[in-house]
Every structure is written in C-alpha cells, then in structure tokens.
Amino acid sequence: MKLETDRAGILKRMQSNYECFVPHDLKYLKFNIDEEFQNLINRAYLLLGRLDGMATTLPDINLFVSMYVQKEAVISSQIEGTQASLIDVLQKDRKNEKIKDTEEIVNYIKATNYAFKRLEELPLCMRLIKETHSILLSGVRGNEKSPGEFRKSQNWIGYAGCKLNTASFVPPAPGEMEKSLTDLEKYIHEDSFIPNLIKIALIHYQFETIHPFLDGNGRMGRLLIVLFLKERGLIEYPVLYLSYFFKKNRNKYYELLNNVRVKGEFEEWIKFFIKGICEISEDAISSIQKIIELKKADIEKIRNIPKGNISNLLLIYDYLLRHPFLETEDIRRLSDLSKPTVNKLLETLIELEILELVEEKKRYKQYVYRKYVDILSEGTTL
C-alpha cells in the first residue's frame, strides 16, 4: 500500500519490518460543503424525519421493528459470507440445513436489541461496543477470536490466504489502535458544527479503518451507524440500515474506503454514504407503506366474509404478522380449537389468497403469508 497523500493518515513501519496505516484524529479534518453537498444532506434529513414519523404511526411498531431488525441481520451477515436468507431465519425452527448460519443472524438480532436497550444506560462508547460485539460472536463462527475484546495482535485485510506482507490493507498495530480508539470515542461525543450525518459517515470509515476486533468488524461498524443515529435523536426505532445499500454497491463501498486512506478523498466517501441514507430511507418508507396497505386489504377481506368465524381468522392473521410461516399445531396451541376447525380456518385464508401452502407432509402442513414475506425479503435473497 502506497499513500498519495497523508490527509487521512500515515504509514508507520513497525519493528517486525512491516507498515501499518495509522489514521489521523478526525477532529483535525477540514473539508468544504458546497451547495450540491448541502442539498444532499438536507434531503437525507428530510427523508429520515419522514421515515421516523411514518414508523411511529404504525399500530404495531414493535412487530415491524422486530421484522426489520431480522432483515438487517440477514443482509449484514450475508456481506460477511453467511449463506442464509430471511426465509431461512423465519423458518429456523423447521430444522433447515442452514441452522448454523441462522444462528449468526439470530446473534445479530440479539446484539442489536441489547445495544439499543443499553443506550438507555450508557452513552455510545467503546465499552458498549465491546459488550455488543461479545453477543454478536457468542457461540458462532469467530467465537474463538476474543469476542468482546479489542485485538492484541496485528490483523490485515486482503485476498483469502494472503500474508501480512501481501495484504491490501494493514490497520494500525495494537498500540496505535488504542490511541485511535480513544480519539474516536472523544470525536463521537465532542460538540462540533459538523452535521451528524457527515459525522457518522466519518465515524464508520474510521472504525472500519482501525479494525479493532479480530472478527466481526464489518457487522459492528454497520451497527454503529444506527446506534449513533439513535443516540443523536435522528431515529427513534432501528428501521434504517445501510447494509442493503453497501451490499448492492459492495465494490464501490470498499473502493471509496480505500480511496480515503490512499488519496484522502473524504468528500466522495461522505457523498456516497449520505446517498445511501437517502436511498435506504426511501426503501424503508416504501416497505412501511406496502405493509400498511397489505394489512388493510387483507383485514378487509376477512371482515367481508359472509359466513365464518371472523374473530378466529383475525386471531390467526395477527399471529401471521409475527410468524409468517406456520403449521396447524401453531394455531391449535394459540387458540385451543380442534384440528378440523383450524384446518377449515386455514383453508379460508388460502381461499382469500392470504395464505399459501408451502409443503405438505404426512405429519404436518406448512403455510406462508407470501405477500408479507415478499415485502420483508427484498434485498435478502442470495
């Protein structure tokens, strides 16, 4: 790695005869915001406000947040090589063959929920980040790489099997890393005139550049974005994640991060990041609108049945929103109804084109709320 400028940091030669990249403290960074740049920032704030406003009007916001966190967990884990889709997670109790991969995703969900709750007690700090990381890697791939602890050895980034001297990027050595993390924590909380959306773009870049963990840096760095937005009051619920945008633009994402280090191109990176905020806000707004419209239309279908047990159908429908894959036994446990009655209710939901039969085996039938799953699954297919 050779630097064209030292705007972002310097290369430091270590005793073991290799060079690592040491980023400068972000508080010394200066850049210009032109009119186009400012308009982009204003649009992002507008969309964030609209998204948060729509989310708070949902009658079952906690249900939507739960599903959206699952969606984010899937996409963020896929970026790291996890071979599981949202459908695999929703079917995780069906003994599917991707159970190990779904465990990584479940950990991401647990880590997100933990971090949001912990923000009520702690500021966004390195302690909170380490605690969250511990949950992220608990009992899954990477759990031998010191979950919840910053690394004490040198790591590097490059093609599979590459060595330190052939790596495409070498983050700061442990001693330099500790100072960089201290500077970053101060930068997160110091008052400045920099817009928060620019600040989190820089914080995400700096975290990925420092690469403080032996594993899980990408997932933790992406989670850091939504935690910062929450702490700054820009979002109330975890319904905005950039993983889908980063996944769609993966090569561009890595190229721009590297160009900051090598060429000092902070402005290009920030614009890319804020465009991602705009695009993902619009996607989330669209998903909310589609779910509201779908729910309204399907409840209307149920209420308009001339004959039938409408109250039990609505009970099943409410369960479907939380568990879009279900079996007859799920409803029997929920309602205490007889098996023939449950089967009749499920047949009615199929006739209304709300449910679909997924698979039929001797002992059970499995059904899916397909239209709902399709909305939630956008961007999560492999």
Per run of 10 residues, the mean pLDDT along the chain (length 382 residues) is 95 91 96 90 95 77 73 74 65 51 77 92 96 87 76 89 86 96 96 91 98 92 93 86 88 96 96 96 89 92 87 91 85 85 91 87 78 80 58
Domain shared by 129 and 159, yes or no = yes
Q: Which residue has the tokens 């599903």?
A: 67
Domain shared by 68 and 144, yes or no = yes
In a domain, 301, yes or no: no
pTM, whole model, 2 decimals?
0.88
Domain shared by 281 and 317, yes or no = no
- Give binding residues for ATP as ranges: 80, 211, 215-222, 253-254
Report the domain count for the chain.
Answer: 2
Q: What is the DSSP string of 231-260?
A: HTTS-SSS---SHHHHHHTHHHHHHHHHHH
Q: Identify whether 211 is a catalytic site residue.
A: yes
pLDDT of residue 97: 46
Q: Which of 257, 287, 317 is the last residue of a domain?
A: 287
What is the domain-level CATH number for residue 360?
1.10.10.10
In a domain, 1, yes or no: no
Distance CA 279, CA 273 (A): 10
Domain shared by 103 and 218, yes or no = yes
Domain shared by 111 and 145, yes or no = yes
In a domain, 2, yes or no: no
In a domain, 263, yes or no: yes
pLDDT of residue 380: 65
Parent domain of 108: 9-287
Q: Which residue has the tokens 């760095």?
A: 221
Domain shared by 254 and 336, yes or no = no
Domain shared by 89 and 210, yes or no = yes
pLDDT of residue 98: 47
- Give binding residues as ranges: 80, 211, 215-222, 253-254
What is the domain-level CATH number for residue 219?
1.10.3290.10
Q: Which of 133, 189, 204, 211 is catalytic?
A: 211
Distance CA 223, CA 273 (A): 14
In a domain, 194, yes or no: yes
Domain shared by 195 and 332, yes or no = no
